[in-house]
Structures are given as C-alpha cells and as structure tokens.
Structure 1
C-alpha cells in the first residue's frame, strides 16, 4: 500500500517525532511504500489566500498545493501525526487542510449536498496532548476531536477513518510510559496494515 504521512511538529527531538519514526519503521517492516511530508521541514505556507482560490477556480492550482494533492491522490492511506494545540490542529496543519483539501479536489457539492471525492482511501490519526487521557475523556475532548477530525476532515471527503490514537500526559510521564506508547503505535500499525 502507498502511505502518505502528514507530520506537524516543530521539534526534531519531540515525542511526536519518535511516533513518526515508529510508524515509518512499522510500515517499512511490512513492505509498504511511504511518503512523509514534514510540514515544518518543508516550511509549508499555511494561509489560504484569495489568489489561491481564484487560481483553482480556473484550473491553475498553485504548484505547492498541486504537489501535495498529487501525494494524496497516490496514497491508499493518509496518516496525520500531530500534537493537540488549543483543542485542535497546529496552525500549519490546519492551513494544509484549508489549502490542499480543496473544493473540487477533496470534496464538492450538488443539489443533494456534499460529494466526497477521496473515496477508497483510509485515514489514521495519532495525537499527543499534555492532559491525561482520562481528563480528555471526561471533558468530552476525545469525542469532540474524533468528530472534528475523523468525521469533519476525513469522512467529509470520503476517507474512511480506521483509527485515532490519543496519547495523553506527554511531557509528564517517565521513560517506560513512552516506551509503552510507542509499542502501541507499532502494534496498531502492524494490526491495521499487515
């Protein structure tokens, strides 16, 4: 299978980067093709400008958007790896979704409503946050994030959400806990994509 991993964390020594490396290693073990788009390393421009929209309306998609859309088109599985900041995606990833998951590429509309244009693909999300998972569950954040990301981004475009992992208390636990989290990433990837 062809995997596109969209990664959004500014620090190379972060736990998110360890998650990325674990995911890539697990997929390679099973013979999958992988493309990683590290949005910070790419210095991806996240602001949807009026000229972007105008260009796409006349079929002249800006090159940086066209490049990312080509990776999405080729992918069987799209994985997002990112920390939860202010109850959602880091701005660079939100901007990626705004610009790349564009109208007439990822979705469209007709008289009956939404038309999904990315059907046949699977979506996988891995998140970190500093609150405990129990606190996120209790305040409704876990469920809310699944709705806004799994349904509001992936399913809205026809991508089937297959799993959404949440790792809480990042920055507050010991080495054994981090090892356990990375083992869960490895186990989940091995199970989902044998």
Structure 2
C-alpha cells in the first residue's frame, strides 16, 4: 500500500515529529511504501498565485498531484493552531487540491475527484477534548477539515485522532499515544 504523509511542524523536537516517526515505524513494520512531504523542510509556499487561480499550475504542484495519484492513503500530521489548520497546511490544500484535480462541478453538482483515496489525520492541540467540546470546537474541527475539505474531494477519512493537552501531557501518556499510532498505522 502507498502512503503519502503530509507533515507540518517547524520544530524537529515537537511531539508532531514524534508522531511522524511513529507513523513511519508502523508503515515499515508492514512493508508499506511511503513518501513524506515535510512542508516546512520543503519551504512550501502556501500563497496561491494569480495564475494558479486561473488554472495554471507549475511543476511544484504537478509533483504534489503525482504523489496524491500514487497514494492509496494520505496521512496528515499537524497541530491545531488558532482552532484550525496551520497556514502552511491550508496553503497546501489551497494550492494542491485544485479544481479539476481534486474536485469539479458537473451540471452544477460538486464531484470529488479523489474517490478511492483514504485519509488518516493526526492532530495535536493545547486544549483538552472537554474544553473544545464545551464550545463545539470539536465538531467544528471535524466539519471544516474532514467534511469541508477531504470528503468534499472524495477522500474517505478513516480516522481523525486528536491528541489533547499536549503541552501539559506527561512522558507516559505520550509514549502510549505513540504506541497507539504505530499500531494503528501498521494495521492499515
């Protein structure tokens, strides 16, 4: 099985990076093929150009399209910042999930073009699940990313996992989370 990992965190010492490493270990255990697209390491430019709005995509975006075509599963790893996707991830979506490639309209109806692809999403957050649930942010996060982006493009979201209160979590909890990730990924 082919896996595209879209990873976004600027610090190699972050828990997000530990999630990336656990994901890779889980994939290797089963002999899966994978490609990591580390958006910060790539210095991915998140701003859509005026030519891209008109449908003109460059070599950089064509390459990302090829990775998406190749992948059976797309694994997203990023923190929740300001109750949403970091700008670099949103920019990746804006620039790579283009009209005619990821979705289009047929007779006025939206059609996801990435049907058959599956997604696994790992997010870290500073707040607890209870804090987000109390204000409805837990549902909003799922609605905006899973429904509004991935399902809109035809991608089946297998699981969306939120790791809560990460800054205040202890080593034992983080180790258990990483074991959970490794097991989850190796079962894909």
Structure 2 length normalisation: TM-score? 0.96
Give the aligned CA root-mean-square deviation in angstroms: 1.1
Aligned counterpart, 2:83? 87
> What does residue range 94-173 of structure 1 map to in structure 2 within 5 Å?
94-173=90-169
The answer as to whether partners of 2:51 and 2:57 remain within 8 angstroms in 1 is: no
- Of stretches 36-45 and 178-187 in structure 1, the one that deviates more from structure 2 is 178-187
Aligned counterpart, 2:173? 177
Distance 1:71 1:183 in 2: 27
The answer as to whether partners of 2:113 and 2:154 remain within 8 angstroms in 1 is: yes
Distance 1:137 1:166 in 2: 12
Distance 1:186 1:65 in 2: 30
The answer as to whether partners of 2:115 and 2:155 remain within 8 angstroms in 1 is: yes
2:46 aligned with 1:50: no
CA offset at residue 138 of structure 1?
Answer: 2.3
Gap regions ≥5 residues in structure 1:
none
CA offset at residue 128 of structure 1?
Answer: 0.2
CA offset at residue 133 of structure 1?
Answer: 1.7
- Of stretches 123-132 and 106-115 in structure 1, the one that deviates more from structure 2 is 106-115
CA offset at residue 102 of structure 1?
Answer: 0.3
Structure 1 length normalisation: TM-score? 0.94
Counterpart of 1:67 (choices 63, 68, 77) is: 63
- SS of residue matched to 2:5: strand
- Of stretches 182-191 and 31-40 in structure 1, the one that deviates more from structure 2 is 182-191
CA offset at residue 53 of structure 1?
Answer: 2.4
Distance 2:178 2:145 in 1: 22
Distance 2:182 2:131 in 1: 25
Distance 1:62 1:112 in 2: 28
Distance 2:183 2:134 in 1: 26
Distance 1:72 1:52 in 2: 18
CA offset at residue 146 of structure 1?
Answer: 0.9
Aligned counterpart, 2:23? 23
